[in-house]
Amino acid sequence: MKRLLVLLMVLGLIAAACGDDDSADGDDGGTTTPEETGDDGDDGDDGDDGDDADMGLDELNVAYFLEWPTANQVAQAEQTYDAELGLTVNWIPFASGGDMAQAMESGDIDISYSQGLTPFANFVTGGSDLLLVGVAVTYADADNCVAGADYGITADNASETLAGQSIYTPLGNVTHFKLLKMLEHLGVDTSSVELIQSEGGPAAVAALDSGDVALACAFGGAVNAMIANGGNLLMTGAEQEAIGIRVFDIISTTGDFAEAHPDVVTAFLQVTEDANRAYNADRTPFIDTIAEAAGMDRGDTIALLDAFGFPESDVQLSAAWLGGTVQSTMKEQMDFFVDQGEIDSALPSYDSFVDTSFLEAVVGAPTTGGPDTMGLDELNVAYFLEWPTANQVAQAEQTYDAELGLTVNWIPFASGGDMAQAMESGDIDISYSQGLTPFANFVTGGSDLLLVGVAVTYADADNCVAGSSYGITADNASETLAGQSIYTPLGNVTHFKLLKMLEHLGVDTSSVELIQSEGGAAAVAALDSGDVALACAFGGAVNRMIANGGNLLMTGAEQEAIGIRVFDIISTTGDFADEYPDVVTAFLQVTEDANRAYNADRTPFIDTIAEAAGMDRGDTIALLDAFGFPESDVQLSAAWLGGTVQSTMKEQMDFFVDQGEIDSALPSYDSFVDTSFLEAVE
């Protein structure tokens, strides 16, 4: 199998792109060839100067996938491309991204829409003159691997249960890459499994249903069908993103075509941009048109579109995409295939195969020079006192007011739960440094809240301190804490950390009494009085309890070692974000600028932050030493809003269910994270 795969890769016969495996079945008995469309390619220029946009070109041949619904198919169906480009646009279905690449090499295809990144990278690695000019669609949850119902395979036991088994998968595309990355992450010896080349989505469903294979990988409707038949995902899309797997398709052409017809490439991207913007504003009127163009029924179309995203030009041009991430993703994929022995070598860099100049010429959403506040004249922002943060310089100097064109009222709160209730009631518009756990608790209960950024990380600034007279340590906690009282906030990250620590240390939680905290000062007083054996708090209260003779139950590093991550978020409501998107983006932009200035050199800002936090300089520095303020590129990475934050919420809520603290958790928390505002930050 390995020798066969290497031969396939060397010959460039790389199956599938990332588009729909089922697309091969939607060609009315066979794939339409470019010759049948009357394609002249670039060679058809007979010297007619024509218009500057097409330089004599009278037809444009575009590759795409059937049964792969995309926002631009409205413009395809209504011939908007033809009208705007002044050309006859022939949409030619293909079975794989590798086939698209070969057709572009031969001149039969001018532009490929929604080609897979992996086959593109494979072909340019092999010397093809291809050029990536845009991002077509993102689909982390629409491409996956499903375990057979009878095999009992999970992420936890995959290293044992997959040994000696067969896996049905496309080879040489993003599905294959994802599979290998997952197997590596789960400790599966890849030499112990047999990879069988997929013949498409229906074949994947049949192979898994028959029991002949333990795992089958596909995308779109085939994944849904395998799950409906009793299979289970090896890893969710969010779990994959958390280990650095990103899944998206691209818009590509050849270097020669782009050079000969730059206006055509830009015009194609402009029509696509307009279609994406219309869809993202309200997709409802377009569903039937997209379904018909994709050759699918309405229900299946909606199911796929729910897992798809169509980034607009400003997002595509950001650092999270064509500003660097797409290039590094290609390099990572090709290096990985080298390590796996699938290809001989990768290129040193893939930067030269990405050209953003055409997309930069596209007219995106209109700008007004400032946020559109739509009559809003005040912004109410929740925050914590005695919680020093980098953005408090902008708070104190009223930079938020100036940049947003609003009066910004900073209102102190005692807890993240109180912040959530105030957002629900409409009294607060944005919460800065809200705890992740109360946010997750409230959305689990049905609140219309939206996570739009990461505010601060603080593994060492939120902790539980044992009273000096109790002699409690991590080693003896299971005995010394039995029958004792613990003073702690409830329903927030401190509570979550406490329960995780008690579980890890073998403490029977039914043997301790949890007392609801009334705040940091009350925690210090409770521990000093000797009425409680352990008190949990954050910020200066932790430092004071230690200074008074208490000792930490576990350090921040010890907690992180058992999987506890601690960070606060920036949140708003879905309604506020829908009504005032520019305000949310502008708020994040000011925060970003403040974080960058602080991270470059915090020295000039310490006194301002201390005053805004209501603390003395020494205590402020002590807390800031334990804090981190991630910038937007870090926040958008897989380690944060690219998947980890979502999976952390799921983990926390599942843990509270197991502890009997809440009745149930949601299946996923992905829909409560919206990175579009942060992606617009410069």
Q: What is the mean pLDDT of residues 85-89?
A: 96
Work out the percent of the chain whose per-residue pLDDT is above 70.
89
pLDDT at residue 243 in the model: 72
- What single-letter amino acid sits at 279? Y
Q: In the structure, what pLDDT confidence band is assigned to residue 520 with cuts at 50, 70 and 90?
A: confident
Helix H or strand E encompassing 439: helix 436-444
Q: In the structure, what pLDDT confidence band is assigned to residue 93 with cuts at 50, 70 and 90?
A: very high
pLDDT at residue 1 in the model: 29
> Measuring CA to CA, how many Å separate 354 from each of 66, 172, 189, 244, 349?
26, 21, 35, 21, 11
> Strands, E, within 86-226: which ranges?
88-93, 111-116, 130-138, 143-147, 166-169, 194-197, 215-219
Choose the CATH number for 378-458+566-679 among 3.40.190.10, 3.40.50.1400, 3.30.420.40, 3.40.50.300.
Answer: 3.40.190.10
Distance CA 218, CA 139 (A): 13
Distance CA 277, CA 312 (A): 7
Return the CATH fold of 143-242: D-Maltodextrin-Binding Protein; domain 2 (3.40.190)
**CATH class of this structure's domain 462-561:** alpha beta
Distance CA 437, CA 460 (A): 17
Examine the pLDDT at 140 and tell me if it is beyond 80. Answer: no
- Which tops the pLDDT comparison, 608 or 236? 608
Examine the pLDDT at 175 and tell me if it is beyond 60. Answer: yes
pLDDT at residue 370 in the model: 53
Which of 324-328, 568-572, 617-621 has the highest average model confidence (pLDDT)? 568-572
Examine the pLDDT at 23 and tell me if it is beyond 50. Answer: no
- Which tops the pLDDT comparison, 369 or 506? 506
**Residue 618 falls in which region: left (phi positive, over 0), alpha (psi -120 to 50) or beta:** alpha
pTM score: 0.48
pLDDT at residue 201 in the model: 86
Domain locations along the chain: 2-139+247-360, 143-242, 378-458+566-679, 462-561
Distance CA 175, CA 245 (A): 11
Q: For the segment 282-314, what is each residue's pLDDT rounded down to a tens digit?
A: 899 999 999 999 999 999 899 889 888 898 998
pLDDT at residue 181 in the model: 86
Residue 522: is it exposed, middle or buried by C-beta count within 10 angstroms (0-12/13-18/19+)? middle
Mean pLDDT lowest among 85-89, 234-238, 543-547, 639-643: 234-238
pLDDT at residue 195 in the model: 95
Identical fold for domains 143-242 and 378-458+566-679, yes or no, is yes
**CATH no., domain 2-139+247-360:** 3.40.190.10
Distance CA 482, CA 353 (A): 63
